[in-house]
Amino acid sequence: MRIRLGRLEDAEGITLTHCSDVNEWYHRENGKKTMRASYEELTILERYLHGGPWMSIESCAVHLNSLLLEDHPIIVAEVDGKIAGEAELLINEEPVSGELHRIAHLDVIQVHKDFRKQGIGRALMRFSEEIARERGCDMLTVTPEERALAFYKKLGVNKIIQHGVMMDFNLEEFPHKDVKIQRGEFPWSKIRDKEMILGKFQSSYHHWFMAFKERISGIDDGLYFESGRFGDSYYVIESSFFGNDIATVYSWGDNFVETLMILGSRAKELGFKKLRTLVKEQDTEVTRPLKPSITGKSIILAKKL
């Protein structure tokens, strides 16, 4: 086994690694499965909806290029010259519990199904930690799937730094808020020191990066997208592949309740029926009057380096 930094030329092998997890492929309409199909019959968008940009060489290459241009490490595991696993790190500074840390966020880790239980995941993690330390990071973070919790805890990634609750809000419950919004893109430097108060499923930087640094033609341009600021808060509103009436919301700032009400009003004004976002567990109690439905939960784990 050989662990090394990835290159753009690895797009095909990385795509095969991620696609190895998909047993059946489907055509999709409005985000929903319609009929089974062969991989070759699917559009790039339909492949994307099976698991993200890694599902086709074309979109995977765009994704990898976005990471490489910003100097974010791609890490691959090779066995007999074949890519058997892949990991991706997003490195930047952002606040955790009110303190600024230089974070290496493990955005992706995937092992080809034919090479599992051979220590490849552990090797990718060890190499990721080495790279993070070389880059001056003091913390490694990850948003784990429940089935992977034991794997990360064995490697010392066991401090919970966020409990999150995914919520859907009926926008009929939101009153109109007359607030001056300045629409437009914003650089990472404007929000680096701010807490991400809505939508933080991965690292704060991940959500900014996906909004402004990785837009894939034929995929992201099919969604409604809006970004901007009001007062000292910044936001992103996107429509969803899984329902044109759903607004997915992300925000950086201070006043959780006021921000939620303003963005709910804005989404309602845009014609959306539902607002979807991740709320930190400690903020869920104040959302009760809005009668949200809970659709999932997540945690972010950390390891000090």
pLDDT of 214 over the 80 cut:
yes
State whether 23 and 80 are in the same domain.
yes
- Domain extent, residue 195, equals 162-299
Tell me whether residue 31 is in a domain. yes
| pLDDT (0 to 100) of residue 32 | 81
Tell me whether residue 154 is in a domain. no
Domain closes at, from 110, 142, 174: 142
State whether 274 and 238 are in the same domain.
yes
Task: Decide: 77 and 86 in contact? Cβ < 8 Å.
Answer: yes
Quick one: which of 57, 53, 54 has its CA closest to 40?
57
Per-residue pLDDT reduced to its tens digit, 173-211: 999 999 999 999 999 999 999 999 999 999 999 999 999
The Cα-based distances of 65 to 44, 52, 97, 219 in angstroms read: 17, 15, 32, 16
Q: What CATH number is associated with residue 137?
A: 3.40.630.30
Per-residue pLDDT reduced to its tens digit, 93-142: 999 989 999 999 999 999 999 999 999 999 999 999 999 999 999 999 99
DSSP-H helix ranges across the chain: 11-19, 44-48, 57-69, 120-134, 149-154, 188-191, 204-212, 256-269
DSSP 249: E
Per-residue pLDDT reduced to its tens digit, 219-247: 998 899 999 999 999 999 999 988 889 99
pTM of this structure: 0.95
State whether 194 and 294 are in the same domain.
yes
State whether 138 and 168 are in the same domain.
no
By 3-state DSSP, what share of the chain in percent is helix, strand and coil, each rounded to 5?
Answer: 35, 35, 30
The Cα-based distances of 30 to 235, 242, 266 in angstroms read: 25, 6, 23
- Count of domains for the chain: 2
